[in-house]
Amino acid sequence: MEYISTRNNQKIFTFKDIFLKGLADDGGLFIPKSVKPFSKEEINNFKNLSYNDLAAEIINPFIGDFMSKDDLISLISKSYSNFRTKNVVNINKLGNLKVLELFHGPTLAFKDIAMQLIGNFYEHHLNFEQKKINIVVATSGDTGAAAIDALKGKKNLNVFVLHPNNRISPVQRKLMTTCEASNVFNIAIQGNFDDCQNLVKAMFNDEKFSKSINMSGVNSINWARIIAQAVYYFYAYFKVGNGQPLSFSVPTGNFGDIYAGYLAKKLGLPIDKLVVATNKNDILHRAISGGDYSQKKVMETNTPSMDIQIASNFERLLYDVKDCNSEVTKDLMIKIKNNTYKIDTEDLGKIQKNFISEMLDENETIEMIKKINDEHQTVVDPHTAVGIGAVKKLGIEKNCVVLSTAHPCKFPKAIEDAIFKTENLPNSLKYVNERKEKFELLSNDIQKVKKYVMNSI
């Protein structure tokens, strides 16, 4: 499969190129030049596969000669061997609603599903090339812990994780900062997630710097994350779809997880609507419901993984909406950067064929956690509550699956506010409350961050 950048579709890349680079030198995001959907017969043949075997069938067409299919099957098995449920994910029924639990990996969040695989992809690559890779990643809470767990202790690579200081939950932070591996470096940035993400993008865009440290990235902008996450849309459909199109509600911040659903639909999966569920940092809800893509100040909420205004992966959708015209997409991204972009009526119509949206504020989120616990004796994390609340507001519970993105124990304050109860960490992770934390506090200054990275490698 050939890949291009959303900002230059003339230059061709291999999967190996785009996996290791993460972000294109022109600032664009990598996508396949074209996506061939599976036939109805192929999709029908997938329906009884285990999660691991299904993952191999869906991922293999995207990776070319990066590895053999046998190696891929082996790495998938290795990646998911430490999950707490046999088939990686669980589906829980709450009345008419189905909830896809994605948090059974080692750091209790959906990010583990892609990140464990990516960690083993790096290890496979480094078995053949002895260069040292330096991975730099921004996190709004869960990505960092998942990346650290997947990459800790691996030879010939370091991982630098930037998180917004005091803007993620204590559990999210401790899952990162208590790691004792010598190749892990945590950086607390005095700012918000968008600041962290902009710092990472600036380092990628500085070609001299990024090449000098052999820089790579594992944020949701890395295409490998998208293809790994597309798998669970297929798996959920085969378990509960009954041959009819399903909708999926996705708690959404950076637009990566829901874009994976969009990819699944492009691959031929019968998906009706993809529900963009946001907190009061609602730029994506405003954009999809009415075309307003104006950035506002990021507000702290009880759903910190969605405290984002610049949804990086939205660029991939805009490229499609603009008929795969990379020059037009490049111009759009300049407007977005200058906060002068509004989605026109024609483009909004194209987006709304696949996406609808809804927003929950702080009080609604807490009330939803309480309501679910009262009615179903089930505790959900606040992000999942937003996904469920969006479905209820839209009135589409019957044929909809909500993606449950994190274990409730990662957000103790929200759970206590809702039901006056604390959800405990699994025994295997209780050590994070006892170990000493280790991180560097830096200002939102690209030169200081670069200097820290350079001095650490």
User: What are the catalytic residues?
Assistant: 111
In whole angstroms, what is the distance from residue 337 CA to residue 274 CA?
A: 26
8 A C-beta contact, residue 144 and residue 169: no
Q: CB–CB of 311/298 below 8 Å?
A: no
Angle between helices 51-63 and 223-240 (to 10 degrees): 140
The whole-angstrom separation of Cα 208 and Cα 51 is 41
How many CA within 13 A on the CB side of residue 178? 15
Token digits of residue 261? 């659903």
Q: Residue 219 has what DSSP assignment?
A: S
90-94 and 215-216: which strand pairing?
Answer: unpaired
Of the candidates 271, 259, 362, the one whose C-alpha atom is nearest the C-alpha of residue 315 is 259
Q: Which amino acid is at 336?
A: I
Contact 76, 52 (CB under 8 A): yes
- CA of residue 91 relative to chain centroid, distance: 19
Q: Taking the chain, what is the end-to-end CA distance rounded to the nearest angstrom?
A: 34
| Neighbouring residues of 353: CB distance < 8 A, sequence distance ≥ 6 | none
355-359 vs 157-164, strand pairing mode: unpaired
The angle formed by the CA atoms of residues 8, 129 and 138, to the nearest 5 degrees, is 55
Burial class of 412 by CB neighbour count within 10 A (0 to 12, 13 to 18, 19+):
middle
Q: Which of 152, 215, 208 is nearest to 20 (CA)?
A: 215
- Cβ-contact 33, 42 below 8 angstroms: no
CA quadruple 314, 318, 324, 329: dihedral, nearest 10: -100
**From CA 450, how far away is CA 160, in angstroms rounded?**
11
